[in-house]
Structure 1
Amino acid sequence: MCSIFNEKTVEGDDDGPSFATSLPVPNVQEMVMRDPLEIPERYLRNKEDMPKSAHNTSHLSSQIPVIDFSSLTQGNQEELMKLDLACKDWGFFQVINHGVASEVLQGMKDAAVNFFELPLEEKNKISMPPDDIQGYGHAYVVSEEQTLDWQDVLMFIVYPRRYRKHRIWPTKPTEFNEMVEAYSSEVKRVAEELLGSISLAMGMEKRTLQKMHKEMLQALRVNYYPQCPMPDNVLGLSPHSDTSSITILMQDDNVSGLQIRHQREWVLVKPIPNALVVNVGDVIEIWSNGKYRSIEHRAVTNDTYTRLSYASFMAPSDDVEVEPLDHMADSQGSFQMYKKVIYGEYLRESMKRRMEGKAYTEMAKIEG
């Protein structure tokens, strides 16, 4: 296999890797502006396809773990145990006291809102190219018959810097790139510390997982979910697990929409002001031999408010081999549950498919 790493590549030469294609589809934000009551048939879900509502699971929402990042990084063993249980029992947790300044968080939000308020012709200047899902558009559209998600997205690689394709980075608003830089560098710091703590929780030296991400791939996806006149008939984002190691998400403080599958129920992740939501990705699931599981999650819409979310996907290098770590299988007294995969191949193959729960992760399991 040829690695996507090329030491001759320099920041800004637009010669970074491509990942997958996505068919062009109508812009949802523009549809809502033209007719707030219109929902094209291609966005409507059959009742049997709509997962059970999360309206009656508020008691579970309050149980989603909250991790004090400051205590965790200072070596607090009780907080480390909470992290272990969060990864094992939930696959999701919220992080407080992470040290990212509120001005940085708000600056990223303001810049994104200002981008999506630009005229469509301005946003289309950075439309997703035919060979990639970086840029502005609608990702993971792989067939003409596919039911679509009620959203528009802006997505690009932030790190390594030399992977940045500046032709699909916004030039307006003028502060956008500066805000992305400030926000993403802080998210990277938080991710590296969390990987260190997860290493400890898995019974390894702190730097073990950090070394396995020696040149961490970090992608930023800004999701824009317009209000919808029939929110019970559409989904903002189809149920899926993430192909990352971990994902760090910033939510709007006042608009809910993220739901996770827990105990066969859909549970709303209620925003905590200035907190970051973290979830286990497929890579950690495989490395931990299933002790920690990447969890299905989705986004729902509402009929009153537009909602934005900001997902940073943290992953290993393209050529890293991912398979269960020996001691994880031994410590659980079980056999190896997953095949060895090359991360770049795993990532790209998953992107050729529509989002469909845990279907792709299941394909990585060893039959028997």
Structure 2
Amino acid sequence: MEGGTTDNLEKSLPVPSVQELAKKEGLHSIPERYIRRDGHKTTTTTTTPTTSTTPLIDLAKLVDPSSHSLELQKLHHACKHWGLFQLINHGVTESLANMRKQTVEFFDLPLSQKKRWAQKPGTLDGYGQAFVTSQEQKLDWNDMIFLRALPSHNRKLEFWPDNPEHFREALETYSEDMRQVAVSITRFITMSLGFKDQKFSEAFQDGRYEIRMNCYPPCPQPDLALGMVPHADMSGITLLVECGSQPGLQVLKDGDWVFVEPVDGAIVTFLGHITEIMSNGTYKAAEHRAVVNKSKERYSIVTFCYPDSSINIGPSKQLIQSGTPPLYKTIGTIEEYFQLFYNRKLETSFIDTLKV
């Protein structure tokens, strides 16, 4: 990498709990490490564009032969022009509601309890914060717990909370349901690109699933902080579930930050870099961020979905064979892709390093 040494991003330095900071009586200003002076300042005003134009995709209509064609066109438009959509009628209800409950209950635990599952040096798994590589680095206004869910042999169960009592059981069921959603929706994404085979979607059946639960506490200066900085995900797709009705997720659309307001029961589906590469840039990974609120907290559950090593990460041969030049390198297996991601400078645009 140019400009210095690389960081190993598959580890993170310990940081204070934002939840505990937000609880302090008389907190009127936020510490310097949370203040954004880098052009990422935010707004939470109601004049910000909202979700009326955010695509809604109905999985039941994709499955139904009578509505399949029209819904597939809508899916293609959403993937090409937004890089995300809200998925409804996906069939996941009970485990989704249960995981929401477990997530809120976990973050409601005393700090001493949550620290039982704190991250350890050299890992991202556990309770803490991701991608903190220096003591001077600006921090996001959130707490999180990150857990590898599938395949089951990837799990580091010492970081899986056993309080709340049913947390582990709920997460296991939830991750299986998210896998089925991922396999199903990637099948239709590949169809919307006109692919003849389903190797890409089939690779999600035994793929890698990692789950991050976020807590965004109230912030006394929400215009100076961010819950999460702008980024696009390195995944194939990302499935986000809101745990309430508090808006906070924004997507960059035509140069403006647009709120993706919660739709009851919907799964916000982001395209990640792997899908952008596979589609040779026809579909773009959505750049998104989280903003915070002065008086209300927000919780979300995010599942990062990756294909297995049966496919190489690169532009689809079906697209390249049609005469279109590749815009991205063929990286190799998912393991090689992860190595490239985790061993780079944090400020380097990952997708830019993968372009031809």
Task: Give the structure-2-normalised TM-score.
Answer: 0.91
1:89-119 C-alpha deviation (Å, 9 max, x unpaired): 1101001111112x32221111111111111
What are the within-5 Å matches in structure 2 for residues 1-368 of structure 1? Answer: 20-35=10-25, 36-46=27-37, 48-50=39-41, 56-58=47-49, 61-75=51-65, 76-101=68-93, 103-205=94-196, 207-317=198-308, 320-331=311-322, 334-342=324-332, 343-351=334-342, 359-366=349-356
1:238-276 C-alpha deviation (Å, 9 max, x unpaired): 110001000010013310000000101101001100111
Identity of aligned residues (%): 37
Q: Tell me the secondary structure at the aligned position of residue 260 of structure 1.
A: strand
1:206-251 C-alpha deviation (Å, 9 max, x unpaired): 6321233352100110011000001000000011000100001001
Q: Tell me the secondary structure at the aligned position of residue 39 of structure 2.
A: helix
Are residues 93 and 132 of structure 1, via their aligned partners in 2, closer, same or farther at CA, if it must alter by over 3 Å?
A: same
Q: Which moved more, 1:88-97 or 1:173-182?
A: 173-182
Displacement of 1:365 in angstroms is 0.4
1:58-117 C-alpha deviation (Å, 9 max, x unpaired): 26x31111011111123411111111111111101001111112x322211111111111
Are residues 310 and 206 of structure 1, via their aligned partners in 2, closer, same or farther at CA, if it must alter by over 3 Å?
A: farther
Aligned residues of 2:195 and 2:318 also touching (Cα < 8 A) = no
* CA distance in 2: counterparts of 1:362 and 1:113, whole angstroms: 36
1:131-163 C-alpha deviation (Å, 9 max, x unpaired): 110110000112222110000111111110111
Aligned residues of 2:13 and 2:133 also touching (Cα < 8 A) = yes
Aligned residues of 1:257 and 1:268 also touching (Cα < 8 A) = yes
Aligned residues of 1:68 and 1:95 also touching (Cα < 8 A) = yes
Q: How many residues align?
A: 345
1:186-219 C-alpha deviation (Å, 9 max, x unpaired): 1111111011111211212463212333521001
* CA distance in 2: counterparts of 1:282 and 1:363, whole angstroms: 12
Q: Which residue of 2 is the match for residue 4 of structure 1?
A: none
Are residues 240 and 186 of structure 1, via their aligned partners in 2, closer, same or farther at CA, if it must alter by over 3 Å?
A: same
* CA distance in 2: counterparts of 1:210 and 1:344, whole angstroms: 18
Are residues 327 and 259 of structure 1, via their aligned partners in 2, closer, same or farther at CA, if it must alter by over 3 Å?
A: same
Gaps of 5+ in 1: 1-17
Q: Tell me the secondary structure at the aligned position of residue 60 of structure 2.
A: helix
Are residues 19 and 171 of structure 1, via their aligned partners in 2, closer, same or farther at CA, if it must alter by over 3 Å?
A: farther
Q: Which residue identity lines up with residue 63 of structure 1 in the other structure?
A: T
* CA distance in 2: counterparts of 1:65 and 1:205, whole angstroms: 25
Gaps of 5+ in 2: 1-7
Aligned residues of 1:54 and 1:265 also touching (Cα < 8 A) = no
Displacement of 1:179 in angstroms is 1.4
Are residues 295 and 194 of structure 1, via their aligned partners in 2, closer, same or farther at CA, if it must alter by over 3 Å?
A: same
Q: Which residue identity lines up with residue 299 of structure 1 in the other structure?
A: A
